Amino acid sequence: MGKYADLMIETFNTKIENGADTEGPIRFTSRDLREAVGNMDIDSVRMGDAIYYYNFRHELPDELQEHGYKHVVSIGGEGQDGVYVFTKIPQQVDNTDDYDKSVLIEKDSLPEALAEYVSGDEQGSLTQVRELDIMDDILDMECYHLQSHLRTEIENQKMEVDEVYIGLDGDNHYTVIVEAKGEGEELNRSQLIRNTIGLRKSPDYPDNVITTGLKVDQEGIFYISTFDVGELDVDVDSASEFDILNIDLNIEETWRYMFSKSVDEDDMKEQSKITEVLE
């Protein structure tokens, strides 16, 4: 068992010994993590990396899962200390198991110079989405790329949205957000929810927010899903961290995009299963 797992187990056990209830989320801070490191027979451990690992990359160790806890979620800060929870709500969102439409992107659909150098990771996929106006096709409206890496905040929790578009449907304006994950990571439930709520409350953008997530697999094939993100039952300014964590999140539709240079011969033979070719 690695240092990250040992850190989570030690922190969890200490919270239980101090009276934490295992019926719901268990709150802890960076101070708790530092104290856990002091109790462990190790020199050091990157606490921030451990939190990231159990939020975006992996489920919690079996010792916590026995009590129903799946992931760690960051929920803000107190002074210099980060605040987190062990949550029983799964945070990883897999949108690659099923899809509603499959699209083959022909190599010559991109400008030659761009096609030669575009990468097969999530950043390369975001480039293809922008260059080929894919959001227009998915949402059936005009979409204009506004900004990458937009920073926002809700409940003292700083967040960064990978891509923001402005969508136009007649006289109606929409904020379209795109979260992207590459190989080894999954789309994250709390991140999708928090970014959606953060932009809904922002006076700087349309409060009609459309939430999408992009996941790239190891072959460079990417999947884009639209999400239905629930509403808060209370005013956002008075919402607690747990109100936000409990908001409903569901996949609406998923599109699979295969960039021709990343598709092997066997996949090419299955062209009959592809419902559209983007040229």
Residue 32 domain flag: yes
Q: Are residues 171 and 231 in the same domain?
A: yes
The candidate with the shortest Cα–Cα distance to 90, out of 54, 53, 122, is 54
Task: Select from 89, 112, 132 the last residue of a domain.
Answer: 89
Q: For residue 94, tell me if it sits in a domain.
A: no
End-of-domain residue from the set 68, 89, 110: 89
**Are 33 and 137 found together in one domain?**
no
Same domain, yes or no: 186 and 151? yes
pTM, two decimals, is 0.84
Q: Are residues 143 and 31 in the same domain?
A: no
Nearest 5 degrees, angle CA 41-CA 47-CA 48? 165
pLDDT, residue 45, reads 83
Q: Are residues 204 and 239 in the same domain?
A: yes
Same domain, 188 and 57: no
**Contact, 87 vs 71, CB < 8 A?**
yes
| 213 part of a folded domain | yes
Same domain, 124 and 255: yes
Residues 82, 215, single domain; the answer is no
Residue 236 resides in a domain = yes
Closest Cα partner for 68 from 7, 113, 24, 98?
Answer: 24
In a domain, 115, yes or no: yes
Q: What is the pLDDT along the chain (279 residues), one digit of tens a residue?
A: 589 999 999 999 999 999 999 998 999 999 999 999 988 877 778 888 999 999 988 999 999 999 999 999 988 766 567 889 999 999 999 999 889 999 887 767 888 888 788 887 888 889 889 999 999 999 999 999 999 999 877 666 678 899 999 999 999 999 999 999 988 889 999 999 989 988 988 899 999 999 999 999 888 889 999 999 998 765 655 456 677 778 999 999 999 998 665 555 455 434 434 445 554
pLDDT at 154: 65
Cβ atoms 60, 8 nearer than 8 A: yes
d(CA 41, CA 35): 12
Residue 44 and residue 119 in one domain: no
- Residue at which a domain ends, from 89, 124, 141: 89
Residue-level pLDDT at 192: 94
Residue 158 dihedral angles phi and psi, to the nearest 5°: -75, 140
Q: How many domains does the chain have?
A: 2
Q: Report how far residue 11's alpha carbon sits from residue 29's, in angstroms, rounded to the nearest whole number.
A: 10
Q: Is residue 37 located within the same domain as residue 140?
A: no
DSSP 231: P
**Burial (Cβ within 10 Å: 0-12, 13-18, ≥19) of residue 79:** exposed
- Residue 53 DSSP label: I
3-class SS string, 111-152? CHHHHHHCCCCHHHHHHHHHHCCHHHHHHCCEEEEEEEEEEE
Q: Residue 199 domain-assigned?
A: yes
Q: Which of 206, 90, 205, 187 is nearest to 151 (CA)?
A: 205
Asked if 109 and 64 sit in the same domain, the reply is no
pLDDT at 260: 61
Q: Using an 8 Å Cβ cutoff, are 212 and 224 in contact?
A: yes
User: Do 134 and 189 fall into the same domain?
Assistant: yes
CA-nearest of 230, 102, 128 to 180 is: 128
What is the domain range of residue 179?
101-278
Q: Is 95 among the domain residues?
A: no
SS3 for 54-68 is HHHHCCCCHHHHCCC
